Structure 1
Amino acid sequence: MGNGTAYDYVIVGAGSAGCAVAARLSEDPAVSVALLEAGGPDDKNEIHVPAAFAQLFKTPCDWDFSTAKQAELDDRELYWPRGKMLGGSSSLNAMMWVRGHSADFDGWDVPGWAYADVEPYFRKAEGRVGSNEGGVYGTSGPVVVSEQRSPNVTTRAFLAACAERGIPRLSELNGPSNEGFAQTPVSQRRGRRCSSADAYLRPARKRPNLTVLTGAHVSRVTLEGGRATGVEYGGERIAARREVILSAGAIGSPHLLMLSGVGDPDELRQVGIEPVVERPEVGRHLRDHLCAGVVRRCPKKVTLAGAESFVNIARYVLARRGPFTSNVGEAVVFTKSDPSLDAPDLELVFAPAPFVAHGLEPTTEHGITVGVVLLRPESSGRVALASADPAAPPLIDPGYLAAEGDLDRIVHGLKYAEEILASDAMRDFVGDPMPPYEGGDDAALARHVRANAETLYHPTGTCRMGLDDGAVVDAALRVRGVDGLRVADVSVLPEITRGHTNAPAIMIGERAADLVRGA
């Protein structure tokens, strides 16, 4: 692959959105598409076995980012895993298929991105297997969205406890409103992960007009005369005859824009990069879902702890059933910290295991976890350049709990989770608090949050879309001030969704392909 190789479209990042964009654009045999991925292939067994995802953390499949010290979280530097392989974070995540709430999209007030506009793109992506009450899901899309094959007995008890508490049951989680409780729909095909690479890229790679390059860590976008003309990586240059599309995620896309001279001019000069396009909001408006867990011992040996028995391995290998099919986050509740709110601002994620510190230190002690997630943080942060060296990680400062009220809402959620666990339906499965959780009054719960809260892996907003002059991209995802350059991933979200971000990322990829083709 020498200098001067040219394609019509050059896409950076083979993650959730990038695989969708590449597959859709390459449907046209008259155009050529190059998809560049910094990581390697998605060939490790742990990628495809659902319950094994935590074993991919801090491996070559992971960017293994860390945040700046968080003043409101006991000055901790938090670990942020992000997928570095084909499929990106869709090859590393917990496979929870959650679109969000209709109020998310309608609240952006960006033409073409209201719920009525994006819902067809969710459906286009989805290949629902199983229940589909009201025809909520698409049924012929590439991403297989299925029901869990072997939910844990404690998960069924948790769902019963939610009903006992009077929480409304959602017949389908992904309708216009997600307020209520449900078993989690998962992006799995017959008990195996269905990543964006599985869904989109694997079928598309048969096309002669699609070139996929792994190990291609792009160092900058080449800009000439106000236009993106290609990208550079590893001493190579690839030209884009029509467009460059950044799908490198909420960390990678702003990082690459800044390395290319698109950002806050003063900050670029501080690290020795000459500004090309003044866009001060590149990297700003970083939002993420912070999560703190209620962890309790389980008196019965029925959880995922110690699931690696010969019998369970055989069940998975022979029938694709059993605990290895678990996505760990098997049930969810979306609720409001204040009844006057228009939509949920808290999520409870039930795990039939003691999921602590990202599962990096697995235990054989049986326990359960209810993760409390702040869906609509008032706090925001930024991604910034720490160095002009493309190989150096950027500075990541999410600014957790900086805004007044965020901590109180998480504490409210922890107390609500305890109420659900106190239901009769959970009586046989809930024992004493399990470290690091100790329970207690509001002050003790606040200390627990500060000492133990972690990311739920949903950074967004760093290349914000909007109609105002400050927005990084316009409603067609074009970078303002640069021709032939778009961003297509969750970095464009004007505000973080009340749900998980994999489904919105893939939706954005689907929509981006239509926007590009429409242009």
Structure 2
Amino acid sequence: MSRDYPKDANSLNQLEVRYLTNKISRRTFVALAAAMGIAGPTLSALADQLDDIRSNQDARRKNLQAGYDYIVCGTGSAGSALVGRLAANKLANILVLEAGDWDTAPSVLDPKVWFTNLGTERDWGVVAEPSPTVNGRAIPEHMGRVVGGGSSINATIWARPFKTDLDHWAELTGDPAWGYKHALDVFRKVENWQGPADARYRGKDGPVWCQPSASPPLIAPALLEAAKELNFPVLPDQNGAREEAAGGFAYMNQIIRDGQRRSMARAYLYDVLGQENVTLLTKALVHRVILEGGRATGVEVDLGDRVTTISATKEVILCAGGMNSAKILMLSGVGEEASLKALGIKTLVDSPEVGANFQDHILHGGCLWEAPEPFQMQNSGANVAGFWKSQSSFASPDINIVQIELPYASDVVAKEYTPPPTSWALCAGLVAPKSRGLLRLRSTNPADKPILHAKFLSHPDDLAALAAGIEVCRELGNSKAMKPFAKREVAPGKKLDKAEMADFVRKGATTYFHEAGTCRMGNDSGAVVDAKLRVNGVRGLRVADASIMPKIVSVATMATCVLIGERMAEILTQNS
């Protein structure tokens, strides 16, 4: 439903949440919303929609069925997109299971404080095992455990993949539908783009609101001037033509509307939660998929007051994210036989690559400068970014340089350099890592976090690429254009020799929280899923989230996860 939002849209969203969760009556909701200036017809339609959602989901929970056509596990970017599209078929009876709670916290709605969700109940809380390649540090791998998944707690960046990323997927799977040409059609259908019209690249009528950084602080355009000063391309749009180019700097695209986050749950799920064919259960932890005779017949799920089994007559689709889909498969008996046997789990499908091929983008925290005076953080605190090739021979950029309007630093760098509170950062990000990690079960208890051997920077090329990116950050930060914002360089503060740089890279390594690859897609015998996202060796079971990426895309992964969810919906509705 189209809405005319008031200026104080964040407060309206919180009102919606209070009404949906029975905290206030319809009369109170209408009165408070009217006081915000919402017109009568719009207010009535909005209240009706919320009534439909609340009454429908209350009824669905009270009359939980023994079976559904489709069971979708997870409401992240891919899961939300999948359910939103799949629900258009009113004959398809869909159960959606979310381990977290509703996206009700003010910290979800306000993008300025997105990072305060990390480490809370809205985060799965996985931490990678300590590794010598990052100086023995144990690096957190945050993941959204809330309606909307990562799109409800991330930095709101809408970045579409490079053409080379997707054409590589098409080559690996033998399916051109995974290539850039088809993806461009999908993205045009998906987007409600608020920037300059661009018929070739951008869509206007889709569910996903995205816009260029709104009212960025003066430090943001200064960085674009610095990029020009150093002869880096400056582009009119972070997406679009950039996807087929060799890189460049631009204002970010963000899923922020009138100062509030527009998660993929808001884009896709909310508009179908009033339908009788959609049931959403929150605080529902999936234990395992039930496999009988080589087919997925349902799931075992903890609903808080009981553990029960719910059947699926058509498909179970895991959209649980870059680590949890692999975890659920292993708990279900799909994985490497030796590691499952060691925990007493009977192997039903020997699939050694489940949990292997783990990838994430490395964000270095960071190169820091002290500003002469404080400035107001805008949007999610990151409004300009650039893509760059550390080696000219590469097909696409491997380095992402992000300006952060905060003293962003790893725990070690922050302790060593003690940046003043007025500091800001330029962070080099490795977005085409060659290192690969491994995920394994800690125990047979579904509530236990998995063991992650991330192996960050274990490939020597990754260290070299990040070192080159840090040098570019220092050039930009110390350029003429940035002088008004740089009282002094805080970290590293000087040119580093080779050994010093290697240490600075390792002790500054953090991640973007873009977990991917643990249920690799391909057309070879070792792939976990095929081009139709079917789990090899099991009928009626698919995976649709970042875990299926054979090679992680070289951008923030939210938009690509939406593409995966849209592709899954296409595949299912085509009865493939």
**Structure 1 residues 437 and 242: CA distance shift in structure 2, 3 A:** farther
Listed as ranges, the gaps of 5+ residues in structure 1 are: 305-322
**Structure 1 residues 195 and 73: CA distance shift in structure 2, 3 A:** same
Q: Which amino acid aligns with 1:352?
A: E
Q: For residues 89 and 199 of structure 2, what CA distance do their matches in structure 1 show?
A: 33
**Structure 1 residues 360 and 98: CA distance shift in structure 2, 3 A:** farther
Matches within 5 A, 1:145-184: 145-175=210-240, 176-177=243-244, 179-184=247-252
Q: For the aligned residues, what is the CA RMSD?
A: 1.9
Q: Which one of 478, 481, 485 corresponds to residue 429 of structure 1?
A: 485
Cα shift at 1:150: 2.0
Task: Give secondary structure in 2 for the equivalent of 1:392.
Answer: coil
Aligned to 1:214: 282
Residue 201 in 1 paired to residue 254 in 2? no
Q: For residues 497 and 421 of structure 1, what CA distance do their matches in structure 2 show?
A: 27
Aligned to 1:70: 131
Q: Which amino acid aligns with 1:339?
A: S
Matches within 5 A, 1:287-302: 287-302=359-374
Aligned to 2:504: 448
Residue 256 in 1 paired to residue 318 in 2? no
Aligned to 2:338: 266
Q: For residues 263 and 216 of structure 1, what CA distance do their matches in structure 2 show?
A: 23
Aligned to 1:33: 94
Q: Which one of 121, 140, 149 corresponds to residue 186 of structure 2?
A: 121
Residue 192 in 1 paired to residue 264 in 2? no
- In the alignment, is the contact (CA less than 8 A) between 1:144 and 1:187 conserved in 2? yes
Aligned to 2:391: 338
Aligned to 2:566: 510
Cα shift at 1:398: 1.4
- In the alignment, is the contact (CA less than 8 A) between 1:26 and 1:210 conserved in 2? yes
- In the alignment, is the contact (CA less than 8 A) between 1:3 and 1:237 conserved in 2? no
Q: For residues 384 and 264 of structure 2, what CA distance do their matches in structure 1 show?
A: 22
After superposition, give the CA deviation of every residue in 1:195-230 in whole Å (9 maximum; x if it has no partner): 111111111111111000000000000011111011
Cα shift at 1:3: 8.6
After superposition, give the CA deviation of every residue in 1:351-383 in whole Å (9 maximum; x if it has no partner): 122122499999871111111111111110111
Q: Which one of 528, 542, 547 corresponds to residue 491 of structure 1?
A: 547
Cα shift at 1:492: 0.5
Task: Give secondary structure in 2 for the equivalent of 1:284.
Answer: coil
Cα shift at 1:518: 0.9
Q: For residues 150 and 138 of structure 2, what CA distance do their matches in structure 1 show?
A: 21
**Structure 1 residues 505 and 360: CA distance shift in structure 2, 3 A:** farther
Q: For residues 219 and 550 of structure 2, what CA distance do their matches in structure 1 show?
A: 37
Q: For residues 136 and 3 of structure 1, what CA distance do their matches in structure 2 show?
A: 43
Q: For residues 384 and 277 of structure 1, what CA distance do their matches in structure 2 show?
A: 16
Task: Give secondary structure in 2 for the equivalent of 1:433.
Answer: strand
- In the alignment, is the contact (CA less than 8 A) between 1:303 and 1:368 conserved in 2? no
Aligned to 1:239: 311
Q: Which amino acid aligns with 1:284?
A: A
Cα shift at 1:435: 5.7
Aligned to 1:23: 84
Q: For residues 436 and 85 of structure 1, what CA distance do their matches in structure 2 show?
A: 37
Q: For residues 566 and 414 of structure 2, what CA distance do their matches in structure 1 show?
A: 34
Q: Which one of 470, 480, 483 corresponds to residue 526 of structure 2?
A: 470
Q: Which amino acid aligns with 1:166?
A: N
**Structure 1 residues 435 and 180: CA distance shift in structure 2, 3 A:** closer
Matches within 5 A, 1:292-331: 292-304=364-376, 323=377, 325-331=378-384
Aligned to 1:407: 463
**Structure 1 residues 190 and 360: CA distance shift in structure 2, 3 A:** farther
Q: For residues 495 and 149 of structure 2, what CA distance do their matches in structure 1 show?
A: 36
Q: Which amino acid aligns with 1:113?
A: W
Q: For residues 492 and 471 of structure 2, what CA distance do their matches in structure 1 show?
A: 16
Q: Which amino acid aligns with 1:186?
A: Q
Aligned to 1:46: 107
After superposition, give the CA deviation of every residue in 1:307-336 in whole Å (9 maximum; x if it has no partner): xxxxxxxxxxxxxxxx4x512221111001
Q: Which one of 91, 104, 110 corresponds to residue 165 of structure 2?
A: 104
Listed as ranges, the gaps of 5+ residues in structure 2 are: 1-60
After superposition, give the CA deviation of every residue in 1:461-488 in whole Å (9 maximum; x if it has no partner): 1100000000000000000110000000
Q: For residues 260 and 200 of structure 2, what CA distance do their matches in structure 1 show?
A: 24
Moved over 4 A (4+): 1-4, 358-364, 435-439
Q: For residues 252 and 427 of structure 1, what CA distance do their matches in structure 2 show?
A: 45
Cα shift at 1:173: 2.0
Aligned to 1:369: 425
- In the alignment, is the contact (CA less than 8 A) between 1:54 and 1:360 conserved in 2? no
Task: Give secondary structure in 2 for the equivalent of 1:211.
Answer: strand
- In the alignment, is the contact (CA less than 8 A) between 1:133 and 1:172 conserved in 2? no
- In the alignment, is the contact (CA less than 8 A) between 1:379 and 1:406 conserved in 2? yes
Residue 225 in 1 paired to residue 275 in 2? no
Q: For residues 355 and 375 of structure 2, what CA distance do their matches in structure 1 show?
A: 41
Q: Which amino acid aligns with 1:338?
A: Q
Cα shift at 1:437: 7.0
Q: Which amino acid aligns with 2:314?
A: R
Cα shift at 1:283: 0.7
- In the alignment, is the contact (CA less than 8 A) between 2:368 and 2:419 conserved in 1? no
Cα shift at 1:118: 1.7
Q: For residues 33 and 5 of structure 1, what CA distance do their matches in structure 2 show?
A: 12
Matches within 5 A, 1:366-405: 366-405=422-461
Identity over aligned pairs, percent: 36
After superposition, give the CA deviation of every residue in 1:239-278 in whole Å (9 maximum; x if it has no partner): 1110000000111100000000000111101111100111
Between the two proteins, the alignment pairs up a number of residues equal to: 500
Cα shift at 1:117: 2.0
Normalized against structure 2, the TM-score is what?
0.84
Task: Give secondary structure in 2 for the equivalent of 1:427.
Answer: helix
